[in-house]
């Protein structure tokens, strides 16, 4: 008798109360992965991992080459492993199946070999073959890689993750042998600020930064607790209750992905975004680019075709707050500083 894979019930995204900032950041990254991922900082027990896991349920299934460890895209050479590419060049037939968008959890104690994969040097020398054991980056290709407590992860490992997320490729080199495979994923990191911040150089490489605060309103807190209890009592019925909303949101995301290339942003708005970044002393141009991309993704999500100052205001704090230089003597919150500078330059 064949065993059925039992899936852990996932809390529906549309059933989550509050935390709008985090939900918006995740949705925009799913629409345009080039935004560069999300860093979520917040108190313990605020539902960070619940929201990330719920996001995967909103994503449509993907076509992959069967039995390929890298979730190779059968139609896009940029997202294919060398083996699949060779088969196509030799006109060999490849079998295509559909799978759920992968969501990979990176455990805190993971080693570099576990993350990047390992090369069997002995086999490579004795048999002349590149014997490679793929790691978590291979499994995360075309999906989401979630790192909880990313601020406790070794800086070098965070660097490796960010490099792969930015380039879409993972390269492993051992004893003069080199293996390269596609590793294009949305990187989502979460952490508790009490346990320390990431180094500014690493923090800057995350596209967006969402802050999660514990809900203070007693009515809302009760609602969150009730939602959780209802879900745990009967996950199937609870999910069914939100199915129509989930389908609607999934449709919006799919349409936004299709329309993204049509979205326009005027030169005047781009110039004002750059003025805000310059005024805030943001290093490099990553802040300018991410703000422009996120504004376009928001417009696509709302099924419009032109970016307005209001769209930029909605996302600019999420794109810039973590890029500001920290001044220990300054009492003003970095998010408030971004908004204040925006209002001055956009005259709103």
Q: Active-site positions?
A: 286
Beta-carbon neighbour count of residue 252 at 10 Å?
17
Inter-residue contact 57 to 13 (CB < 8 Å): yes
Q: How far apart are CA 184 and CA 193, in angstroms?
A: 28
Decide: 261 and 181 in contact? Cβ < 8 Å. Answer: no
CA angle 330–335–340, rounded 5-degree value = 85
State how far the alpha carbon of 225 is from the alpha carbons of 17, 39, 50, 219, in Å: 10, 25, 13, 10
CA distances 249 to 8, 24, 31, Å, are: 22, 12, 12
Gap between the terminal Cα atoms of the chain: 66
Q: How many whole angstroms separate alpha carbon 284 and alpha carbon 274?
A: 11
- Evaluate whether 298 touches 315 at the Cβ level (below 8 Å): yes
Q: Is the dihedral of CA 232, 237, 239, 242 positive or negative?
A: negative
Q: Other CB atoms closer than 10 Å to residue 219's CB: what's the count?
A: 8
Q: What Å distances lie between residue 25 and 8, 52, 183, 211, 252, CA to CA?
A: 25, 11, 21, 10, 15
Is the CB of residue 205 less than 8 Å from the CB of residue 162? yes
Phi, psi of 64 (to 5 degrees): -135, 160
């Amino acid at each position: 008798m064949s065993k059925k894979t039992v899936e852990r019930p996932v809390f529906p995204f549309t059933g989550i109360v509050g935390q709008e900032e985090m939900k918006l950041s995740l949705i925009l990254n799913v629409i345009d992965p080039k935004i560069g991922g999300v860093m979520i900082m917040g108190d313990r027990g605020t539902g960070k991992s619940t929201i990330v896991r719920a996001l995967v349920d909103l994503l449509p299934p993907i076509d992959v080459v069967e039995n390929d460890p890298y979730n190779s895209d059968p139609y896009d050479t940029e997202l294919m492993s060398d083996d699949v590419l060779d088969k196509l060049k030799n006109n060999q037939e490849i079998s295509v199946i559909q799978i759920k968008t992968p969501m990979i959890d990176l455990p805190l104690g993971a080693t570099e070999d576990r993350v990047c994969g390992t090369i069997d040097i002995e086999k490579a020398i004795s048999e002349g073959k590149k014997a490679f054991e793929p790691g978590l980056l291979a499994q995360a290709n075309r999906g989401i890689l979630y790192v909880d407590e990313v601020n406790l992860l070794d800086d070098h490992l965070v660097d490796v993750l960010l490099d792969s997320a930015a380039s879409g490729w993972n390269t492993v080199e051992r004893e003069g042998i080199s293996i390269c495979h596609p590793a294009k994923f949305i990187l989502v990191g979460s952490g508790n600020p009490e346990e320390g911040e990431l180094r500014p150089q690493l923090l800057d490489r995350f596209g967006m930064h969402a802050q999660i605060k514990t809900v203070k309103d007693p009515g809302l807190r009760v609602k969150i607790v009730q939602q959780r209890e209802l879900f745990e009592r009967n996950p199937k019925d609870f999910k069914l209750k939100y199915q129509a909303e989930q389908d609607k949101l999934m449709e919006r995301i799919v349409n936004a992905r299709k329309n993204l290339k049509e979205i326009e942003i005027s030169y005047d708005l781009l110039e004002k975004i750059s003025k805000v970044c310059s005024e805030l002393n943001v290093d490099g141009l990553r802040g300018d680019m991410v703000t422009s991309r996120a504004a376009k993704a928001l417009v696509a999500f709302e099924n419009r075709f032109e970016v307005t100052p209001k769209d930029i205001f909605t996302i600019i704090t999420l794109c810039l707050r973590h890029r500001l230089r920290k001044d220990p003597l300054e009492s003003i919150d970095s998010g408030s500083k971004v908004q204040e500078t925006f209002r001055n330059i956009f005259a709103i």
